[in-house]
Amino acid sequence: MSNIRITKQFNFETGHALYGYDGKCRNVHGHSYKLSVTVIGRPITDTSHVKLGMVIDFGDLKKIVKEEIVDQFDHATVFNKNTPHVELAKELTDRGHMVILANYQPTSENMVIDFSARIISRLPENIQLHSLRLQETDTSFAEWYASDN
């Protein structure tokens, strides 16, 4: 049986600021992110299995990504916890806003690395994460490939 790649796409809105950056992105701003998650595996061949012919049920993949990423990052603001933004984060949190204090500068590159680890930890043993594509704007995106890592 052949390995097959399947992809599910997700959308979420997230704010961030890049502390110490020398451009506009040092200011708090947001993006309409598009995340494409591609996994690879062999379709189920057991004729008695309810998911016969599937690599993974799209609904199961959706549940993983929704719980690990979309539900946490959608309409949240992400700051690097090792910057003075923690003061702003505390004020926002005290006012009821969703804030994520990350161990990294919240660039698309670092976010996609974080997302890969979150997804890998939840995938069934027979399914591997093949790639992620995190699109920040219409013309800008970061990609993560298992083969590169």
Whether 128 contacts 40, CB under 8 Å = yes
- 85 is an annotated ligand-binding site residue: no
Distance CA 67, CA 60 (A): 11
Answer yes or no: 109 catalytic: no
Distance CA 106, CA 44 (A): 38
Answer yes or no: 85 catalytic: no
Q: Which of 117, 17, 31, 77 is nearest to 132 (CA)?
A: 117
- 16 is an annotated ligand-binding site residue: yes
The strand pair at 29-41 and 76-80 is best described as: unpaired
> Which entry of 13, 67, 75, 87 is annotated as an active-site residue?
75
Answer yes or no: 25 catalytic: yes
- 29 is an annotated ligand-binding site residue: yes
Q: What is the DSSP letter of 42?
A: P
Q: What is the DSSP letter of 22?
A: S
Distance CA 19, CA 112 (A): 19
> Which entry of 68, 85, 130, 136 is annotated as an active-site residue?
136
Give the residue ranges of the annotated binding site. Answer: 16, 29, 31
Active site amino acids: 25, 75, 136
Give the residue ranges of the annotated binding site for Zn(2+). Answer: 16, 29, 31
